[in-house]
Structure 1
Amino acid sequence: MPISETWLLPDGVADVLPEQAQVIEALRREALDFLATRGYQLVYTPFIEYIESLSSLSESNQDLDLATFKVIDQLSGRLLGVRADMTPQVARIDAHVHPVEGVARYCYAGTVLHTKPQGFNTTRAPLQLGAELFGSDSIDADVEMVDVMLGLLEKSGLADSIHLDLGHVGLFRSLVKHAGLSKATERQLSDMYQRKALPELAEFTQDLKCGSDFYNLGRYASDLDALQANLSVEIFENLEFKQAFDAVKQTQSEIQSRWPALHIGIDVVELRSYHYHTGLMYAVYAPNRAAPLAQGGRYDGIGEHFGRARPATGFSCDLYALSAGQFKQIQKVVAPKGTDKALLEAIAQVRAQGLSVIQLLGDDDLSSVPNATHRLVNAGAEWKVEAV
């Protein structure tokens, strides 16, 4: 590679320049402070771990396994993984490093790395921020997590015109179990639901046991009342199906009461990460954005890999995506060179107000400070800040 090209970065990786970095850092601090007020304790996790630790999700989520960079540890010779998601690391903390009894709440913020971009026009190194709740399998825990997610977006100034999608893998999963379908048939149905292929679904389900229920699950996936009216009485006698249906309905009702202006959509056959999630799933979308602002769901038993299976629910978001298109001019106050006591006290006072003050060096003048916005000038008996 020519020397002139050695500064180029790999595809899907980018520098963050001061005008955007300032926005992202302010967003990170506000988000973590907000999560702290809701009782979520901050944890830091290592960037690399033995692949066995990170595989607690990979066993049930092949997408995550494929997204994980793997390298050989030069000290032990063992296989390491660069974290592609921080959830399995927090599960390890809950299981062994900090195994509290009862409900545990954690939050985190850090860079993760993906082998490939996980969506259109996305980075391979997102700045992931999220929250996890361990130890409660109640709907109250799911409602709290959705409420916290929405509150965080509101705190970040992103609550206008957002749309919340709710789903639950339990409806499809319990119906598959009730019908006794094979794994191959289950995968085919899941694919049709994801593609919203209703004509294909109608034909495919004709000869299936509970075929009309499978078709109507897709046909009325976004309307709980119509779904209940068109599904068989038999399937609503199935305890697992009934519990999943009631969980979606109750969550929708409780979130709507807390956020009356929020538009809530239902999609009970949204089966992203189907083999990873175990219950309610949720995602928040905004106009003109294809990817969700934040998303999460229930993943009970995640700590089983570490010997301590616990109910769990959580959400995460990419701070780079949240701050997309936001830039902030950095105010720079330029002060003249000198060690005069009054000048140094004036510089200290301006910095105490939260402004950035740059004192000139050597023979520099105002032109040596790029994008200066203000300067400190001697106005007779006192020093004053004036616009450039």
Structure 2
Amino acid sequence: MSTADRWLLPDGIEEVLPPQARGVEQLRRHLLDDFDRWGYDFVIPPALEYLDSLLTGTARDLDLQTFKVTDQLSGRLMGLSADTTPQTARIDAHSWAQEGVSRLCYCRTVFHAKAPSILAGRTPTQIGAELYGEAGAGADIEIISLMLNTLQQAGLQDLHLDIGHVGIFKAFSAKAQLSNVAEEKLFALLKVKCATDLDAWAEEYLTDPALTTAFKAIVRLQGGIEVLDQVAEKLAAVVPEVTGIIEHLKQVCQAIAARYNVPMYFDFTDLRGYNYHTGLVFAAYVPGYGDAVAQGGRYNETGAVFGRARPATGFSADLKVLAQLGRFAPTQADIVKAPAPYGQQQEQELLDLIAELRAQGTRVEVQLSGELPTNAARIELKDGQWKLIESN
């Protein structure tokens, strides 16, 4: 690399500079303080750990996203964390195995070998919260409420919520006895959402006419909360498990609607995280931004490989995206310029005044020879005393 190119960063790797970095950091502190007020304990998982811990069980979907290195001490493969959720599941199952409900939160950089979308970077600052030990609707309501509150605290406006439930297609797949090949083809078609191709898939792989009819109906049913009754009507007769799922969704969504004025959209063909999530899934969007600003869902099986399978649900977001899209207003401390104290008359008095101002929250910058002139407030020696002179 030539000297002229040494400043270049890899594709998808970004740095945050002043004053944006101040805003990101103040937003981080504000949100973590808010998580604490909701009862969530802060954890800092390691950025690097053994690969078989990072990619166990349902976390194997992260394999292609994970940077891998060899540990020079043990010879074992290690990975840079691409997602904090599996690590918090390990903490809940092993390192911090509390009885009853456990609430954990985090905020740290994660590393992606490939950016998940054209809008995303490869080093997001992942902030999120996870709730363990509660399988009922109350946990889903709390996590979605906390996510929406977090986005509002960050100053995001015009939020809308997309909701699904992977349990519906899991139950459908089991009832239809779909092969792995049939499932893979189905998931590929659902990403494109072409009804004609989905109908052709159903004719090829579904032998039960009732299941075929139900499938063709559900792939066309997306919309508001009224869709829930329609899904139950079309599918419950052939897949009875759907009845309980729909009742659970109604309970959650009615509670969310009572707390937040957020439009909700239901789509049960969005199966991102199908091999990871085990139940309700959700994502929040804002107009003008093509990716979810936060997302999450239920993942009850993750802790099993660490010896403690527990109900689990959570959400995460990229703090830098929240700072970019939100209207959170960072504060700027007052700035005072001070002469270099060393060698000055009454040196100790000057040092004491600088320390006092900094203790009060004032930003005091000691002037050096290369400083450019400013109109900021300053400290000057007046009538034998160091005094604060307000800006012009």
Q: TM-score if structure 2 supplies the norm length?
A: 0.89
Q: Deviations over 1:337-366 (max 9, x none)?
A: 3453554444334323322111224xx275
Q: Which amino acid aligns with 1:134?
A: Y
Who is 2:288 aligned against? 288
**Match of residue 181, structure 1, among 175, 178, 181:** 178
* Closer/same/farther in 2, CA of residues 365 and 384 from structure 1, 3 Å limit: farther
Deviation at 1:232, TM superposition (A): 5.3
Does residue 190 of the first structure (1) align with residue 201 of the second (2)? no
Could you say which residue in structure 2 is the equivalent of 1:83?
81
1:334 aligns with 337
2:324 match: secondary structure? coil
Report the Cα offset of residue 239 of structure 1.
4.0
Per the alignment, residue 384 of structure 1 pairs with 388
Q: Matched residues in 2 for 1:11 and 1:372: separation?
A: 40
Quick check: 1:277–1:298 contact (8 Å CA) kept in 2? yes
Aligned length: 380
AA at the equivalent of 1:113: F
Do 2:333 and 2:362's aligned partners in 1 also have CA atoms closer than 8 Å? no
Task: Please tell me whether the aligned partners of residues 175 and 235 of structure 1 are also in contact (alpha carbons under 8 angstroms).
Answer: no
Match of 1:205 among 194, 202, 206: 202
Partner of 1:258: 259
Q: 2:355 aligns with which of 344, 348, 352?
A: 348
1:166–1:252 CA contact under 8 A, matched in 2: no
Residue 5 of structure 2 aligns with an amino acid whose one-letter code is E
1:119 matched residue in structure 2? 117
The match for 1:69 among 67, 70, 82 is 67
Quote how far apart the aligned CAs of 1:61 are: 4.9
Query: Which runs of structure 2 are paired with 1:137-156 in the superposition (5 Å)?
Result: 137-156=135-154
User: What is the CA-CA distance between 1:12 and the residue it aligns to?
Assistant: 1.3
Q: Which amino acid counterpart does residue 332 of structure 1 have in structure 2?
A: I
CA offset digits 1:282-310 (Å, max 9, x no partner):
11111111111111000001111111111
1:1-388 alignment runs, 5 A limit: 1-56=1-56, 59-158=57-156, 160-206=157-203, 208=206, 209=208, 210-226=211-227, 228-229=229-230, 235-236=236-237, 238-259=239-260, 261-324=261-324, 332-338=335-341, 339=344, 340=346, 343-361=350-368, 364=369, 367=372, 373-377=376-380, 383-387=387-391
The answer on whether the counterparts of 2:286 and 2:293 sit within 8 Å (CA) in structure 1 is yes
> 1:387 corresponds to which letter in structure 2?
S
Alpha-carbon distance in structure 2 between the residues aligned to 1:354 and 1:10: 38
Instruction: Quote the Cα distance in structure 2 between the aligned partners of 1:372 and 1:284.
Output: 44
Change (3 A) 1:44 1:150: same
> Could you tell me the percent identity over the aligned residues?
40
In structure 2, the residue corresponding to 1:284 is in which secondary structure? strand
Cα shift readout 1:92-130 (whole Å, capped 9, x = no counterpart): 111111111111111111111111111113211111111
Paired with 1:12 and 1:226, the residues of 2 have a C-alpha distance of 39
CA contact under 8 A between 1:109 and 1:129: conserved in structure 2?
A: yes
SS at match of 1:161: coil
Distance 2:367 2:233 in 1: 78
Distance in structure 1 (CA, Å) of the matches to 2:32 and 2:228: 39
Report if aligned partners of 1:236, 1:242 keep a CA contact under 8 Å in 2. no
- Unaligned regions of 5+ residues in structure 1, if any? none
> Which is further off, 197-206 or 298-307?
197-206
CA distance in 2, matches of 1:377, 1:287: 51
Residue 5 of structure 1 deviates from its aligned partner by 2.0
The answer to whether the 8 A contact 1:71-1:80 is kept is yes
Describe the shift of the 1:10–1:212 C-alpha distance in structure 2 as closer, same or farther (beyond 3 A).
same
Shift of 1:187: 2.3
Cα distance change, pair 335–352 in 1 and its aligned pair in 2 (3 A): same
Counterpart Cα distance in 1 of 2:335 and 2:221 = 57
Structure 2 residue identity aligned to 1:175: F
Amino acid at match of 2:122: R
Aligned to 2:44, the other structure's residue is in SS state: coil
- Sort the Cα spacing of 1:182 and 1:33 in 2 relative to 1 into closer, same or farther, 3 A: same
Equivalent position amino acid for 2:287 in 1: P
Amino acid corresponding to residue 46 of structure 1 in structure 2: P
Q: Secondary structure at the match of 2:273?
A: coil
The alignment partner of 2:11 has SS state of coil
Per-residue displacement from partner, 1:40-93 (whole Å, max 9, x unpaired)?
A: 11111111111111012xx43554110001111001111111111111111111
Q: 1:149, 1:122 → 2: CA distance?
A: 19
**Inter-CA distance 382–356: structure 2 relative to 1 (3 Å threshold):** same
Contact 2:61 2:275 in 1 (8 A): no
TM-score under structure 1 normalisation?
Answer: 0.90
